[in-house]
Amino acid sequence: MLSRAFSKPIRSPKDGERSERWSRMGLDQFGIGGVMEDMPLSFCNRNHDHDGGRIGRCKKCPAHPTVREVLGSSVGVMGESPMAMTEKVVLSTGKRVYGVKRFRKVGIGNMEFVRRVERVARVSRNCEYLVPLSAYLYAKRMKFVVSDYYPMGSLADLLAGARNLGHTALDWNQRFQIIVDTARAIAFIHSQSPNLSNDTNKYIQMNVHGNIKSSNVMIDVDFSARLSDYGFVQLVDRLELATDTWQIKPPPPSPSPSPSPSPSPESLFSEKLCQKSDVYNFGVIILDTLGGSRAVGLKNCILENKEEIRDGKAEFFEFSVKGKERKQAFKVLEIGLSCLDSLTDARPSMDLVLKSILEDI
């Protein structure tokens, strides 16, 4: 069986306890307790004029989670990073499942947090390849966003499940669809205006993702992909990102003809958001998806043996591929290698990357 979203189970309360004791403990723990009624979340859709933009108050729309339900309905941790912890939340009715990302340390105030999340939510709704945001909360000791849940998990989950747990590996067509969908998501982001002219949104850079990695590529049941965490690095304290590979960058070009060394830990992180770093990290995803997690570190070896890989004389792809499909996979590999160029200006734009994938294959 293909892997599903990996989650670490946590103790669940009995049904009778869920809505009262556990959620009350959560509210108190995070500094938002003492309320007589459940606190509604802010809903990422200002078009809902009939409900005032608040989740849980709209009788014309499906039920949405409240703070109490979110805190009392978590059934497992799907992922953790220095930036945030992602949990799977199953409402008490069992009919709705969400993904909740709790930020460890937000670096902006309430008003600016709301502006940025609302802006990201509006833009994300215009692209079918981005994970849509449903709701958010900014409280004294807790900040989180609520989004759709994807039972297949992330690309990282599926790749690790096949490599480490013996799950059925993705075939070429599935990998290709995931790569194309991810490229479409990044190209859409890069097409946005870099800075908005009005005061309410001028502080967020909308044309850069900033956290491109396989664990942020969510997979649906039909193996289509959606990119998550768009704009999130501009919500948290930059110090929280210091030990996370949120934006890998290559080492500076070697002055000698000898191959460049592998990046050292201190050179793995970009000091600022830029589209070319997004492109580089997309190249990392391509090589990981095609040849395994060690493929990026073997870039020079791959370049030296490109003809042998193309002709099938050297093994690189971790999946079975022959004939026309091998030519397609090799073309995608070449595109990935171009994204990994150590010279920033030499990397292609995402528009060109997407065009090359769709037209040349």
- Give tens-digit pLDDT for 296-339: 888 889 999 989 998 888 889 999 988 899 999 999 999 999 99
pLDDT at 186: 98
pLDDT at 20: 41
Please report, in angstroms and rounded to a whole number, the separation of the first and last CA atoms in the chain.
Answer: 30
Burial of 262 (0-12, 13-18, 19+ CB in 10 A): middle
Of 31-40, 136-145, 264-273, give the range with the top mean pLDDT. 136-145
Of 44-48, 105-109, 120-124, 241-245, minimum mean pLDDT range: 241-245
Q: Provide, rounded to the nearest whole percent, the portion of the chain with pLDDT above 70.
A: 69
- Mean pLDDT (the chain) is 78
Cα(172)–Cα(330) distance, rounded to whole angstroms?
A: 11
Local confidence band at 141 (pLDDT 50, 70, 90 cut-offs):
confident
Local confidence band at 80 (pLDDT 50, 70, 90 cut-offs):
confident
Tell me the CA distances in angstroms from 244 to 23, 81, 106, one per residue in order: 31, 7, 16
Cα(102)–Cα(208) distance, rounded to whole angstroms?
A: 22
**Both tokens assigned to 259:** 């191959």
User: Is the pLDDT score of 250 beyond 60?
Assistant: no
Q: Mean of the pLDDT values across residues 257-263?
A: 45
Cα(70)–Cα(89) distance, rounded to whole angstroms?
A: 6
User: Pick the residue with more confidence: 154 or 248?
Assistant: 154
Mind listing the pLDDT tens digit for each residue in 45-65? 645 444 434 344 444 455 566
Q: Mean of the pLDDT values across residues 145-164?
A: 92
Local confidence band at 139 (pLDDT 50, 70, 90 cut-offs):
confident
User: Pick the residue with more confidence: 227 or 104?
Assistant: 227
User: Is the pLDDT score of 96 beyond 50?
Assistant: yes
pLDDT at 81: 84
pLDDT at 161: 93
User: Is the pLDDT score of 293 beyond 90?
Assistant: no
Torsion of CA 335, 163, 277, 306, to 10 degrees: -30
User: Is the pLDDT score of 350 beyond 90?
Assistant: yes
Local confidence band at 13 (pLDDT 50, 70, 90 cut-offs):
very low
For the packed helices 172-190 and 275-291, what is the interaxial angle rounded to 10 degrees?
Answer: 180
pLDDT at 269: 42
Q: Mean of the pLDDT values across residues 332-353?
A: 95
User: Is the pLDDT score of 268 beyond 90?
Assistant: no
Per DSSP (E only), the strands in 212-264 are 217-219, 225-227
